[in-house]
Amino acid sequence: MNPQFKLEKLDLWRCSITEKQCLILTSALKSNPSHLRELNLSGNKLGDSGVKNLSDLLMNPQFKLETLDLYDCSITEKQCLILILALKSNPSHLRELNLSENKLGDSGVKNLSDLLMNPQFKLETIELDRCSITEKQCLILTSALKSNPSHLTELYLSWNKLGDSGVKNLSDLLMNPQFKLEKLDLKDCGITDVSSLTQSLTNTKALQFLKELDLRNNMIGDSKQRLIDVLRDSNCKLRLRKAQLPPPILTTFYRGTIESTLSSCITVWFGNCTISGRKTLQRIVRTAEKIIGVSLPSIEDIYTTRCIRKATSIVADRTHPSHSLFTLLPSGKRFVEDVA
């Protein structure tokens, strides 16, 4: 709230922020809104009131946010509508938006598409990984981008079931000479045919701008080779997994090696781990998620589960030296730890 405090970047990734705490935070930002440019609230369950308070902040014309990261905030269709309406009222500054790992639903995608059609909304990067976007919703989304194509440079739609028709709609978008996309991320989208994509890259100037095309975890058939040939002499990096193992096998390998190493004795040391250290560990988990193509338990979730399991074991074992440290609350449903 101090007007002399000119913070430009605020990263509160996985800080277990509650709805009440979000109100306190947004109230503080409302009183001093003009300097903040990047806000990361990823991995926090903001709830209805948290999204409402954030939306009120976004409507402030003095709040000139350029990057908003709401990855895995459990945003619902209703909350998405409130958020999009706020962005519509103050659209001109935002350049990067991450709504990945949220269930936007039909109305969420529709409202987001309406926002993307706004010529004042000059978004450069949009991340919608794992948003359960369907082929039909992809059509709505690409139709909106066609009407306002000139600013977007990075589009992330991985782990959505777009199918071949979704790729066809994206290919039609690439045919637009005003659409200068540099990165297209389509991992695990149920794609089997990329001939339309190959054609759009062959017959337009899109390949002059495209620097990276990620199609990993898609079971692409014979049309893959033609795409490889077209991109071979270009500046575009094509990502295709050559040897595909089923996600269950990769998950078993991850949990038996990487996760077991990361979480060894986690109930002892994680509580004293710094925020920076926790982020470093979580980056390993997120990298594994991208490789395997499935959601994995976060380091914090593993810690919580192990603590509960350990406490439950102690409570059930009357011979355990720490059994007397836990007292049953009057409700009969929870235990409290007796701290000397």
Give domain status of residue 183, yes or no. yes
Task: Clarify whether residues 130 and 208 are in a common domain.
Answer: yes
Q: Read off the pLDDT of residues 243-288 as tens digits, 9 standing for 90 and up.
A: 467 888 999 999 999 999 999 999 999 989 998 899 999 999 988 9
Q: Does the pLDDT of residue 241 top 90, yes or no?
A: no
Residue 243's pLDDT is 47
Task: Clarify whether residues 168 and 281 are in a common domain.
Answer: no
Domain count, the chain: 2
Residue 69 backbone phi and psi in degrees, to 5:
-115, 110
Residue 318's pLDDT is 86
- Residue numbers of the domain that contains 82: 9-239
Domain final residue pick, 210, 239, 268: 239
Task: Clarify whether residues 214 and 108 are in a common domain.
Answer: yes
Would you place residue 113 in the very low, low, confident or very high pLDDT band (cuts 50, 70, 90)?
A: very high
Q: Does the pLDDT of residue 12 top 90, yes or no?
A: yes
**Of residues 312 and 108, which shows the higher confidence score?**
108
Residue 55's pLDDT is 95
Residue 130's pLDDT is 93
Residue 339's pLDDT is 58
Share of residues in the chain with pLDDT > 90 (%): 66
**What pTM was computed for the model?**
0.76
Give domain status of residue 3, yes or no. no
Give domain status of residue 2, yes or no. no
Task: Clarify whether residues 189 and 300 are in a common domain.
Answer: no
Mean pLDDT of 217-241: 91
Domain final residue pick, 239, 256, 274: 239
Q: Read off the pLDDT of residues 41-59 as tens digits, 9 standing for 90 and up.
A: 999 999 999 999 999 999 9
Mean pLDDT of 146-169: 93
Q: Does the pLDDT of residue 66 top 90, yes or no?
A: yes
Between 275-292 and 299-316, two packed helices, what is the crossing angle to 10 degrees? 110
Task: Clarify whether residues 169 and 258 are in a common domain.
Answer: no
Q: Does the pLDDT of residue 5 top 80, yes or no?
A: no
